[in-house]
Amino acid sequence: MQFALIILLSVLSAIVYGIIHDQITARICVEYFTIGHPPIFNTESPTLLGIGWGIVATWWVGLMLGFPLACAARLGSSRALVARELIKSITILLGIMGLGAFLAGLTGFILGSKGSIRLTGVFGSAIPSPKHVPFIVDMWAHSASYLFGFVGGIVLIVRIWRKREGSVEKQPRPNEKGI
């Protein structure tokens, strides 16, 4: 049961993060969602796009994190962790992702505003010129969220595994006497 709860916690955490993230980025540049994504949702409402894409684009990330995280937290001979013991670690990961997205978006804004980077290709011609820099902001923020999420997820899984394995090493073995 706890194994499934850890996966569910990861999926729901990713979805909540995605919805909040997309509520912000949809207001920065709605074209990122209406032109830069497949037309899954027939709306230009930033709120509805943020909810829809916040779910569609993140549930699978939560699942990809959740399964190995549940394995790291539950499998093996050391004391298994329960879902509630992972809430703080997942929340910290989401905070780091949000900070990384903010800083990447800010960097995209600065570089785009100075003309150091430009929107080219299909998007360069499909997006109205005044929306190029906001599109870059969203693109950089979203890319950073995925990057920080994947790297941070791996770090979290390894830390949870090591934390559990370290607790086994610190305990005396059944046939050893503690000194």
pLDDT tens profile 87-133: 999 999 999 999 999 999 999 999 999 999 999 999 999 999 999 99
Q: What residue has token string 């360069």?
A: 124
Closest CA to 10 of 148, 140, 156: 156
Q: Is residue 177 part of a domain?
A: no
Per residue in 31-60, pLDDT tens? Answer: 999 999 998 989 999 999 999 999 999 999
Q: Is residue 68 part of a domain?
A: yes
> CB 60: neighbour CB atoms within 10 A?
11
Amino acid letter at 177? K
User: How far apart, in whole angstroms, are the C-alpha atoms of residue 66 and residue 157?
Assistant: 9
* Total number of domains constituting the chain: 1
Closest CA to 140 of 17, 28, 62, 15: 28
Q: Is residue 79 part of a domain?
A: yes
Q: Is residue 157 part of a domain?
A: yes
Q: Is residue 176 part of a domain?
A: no
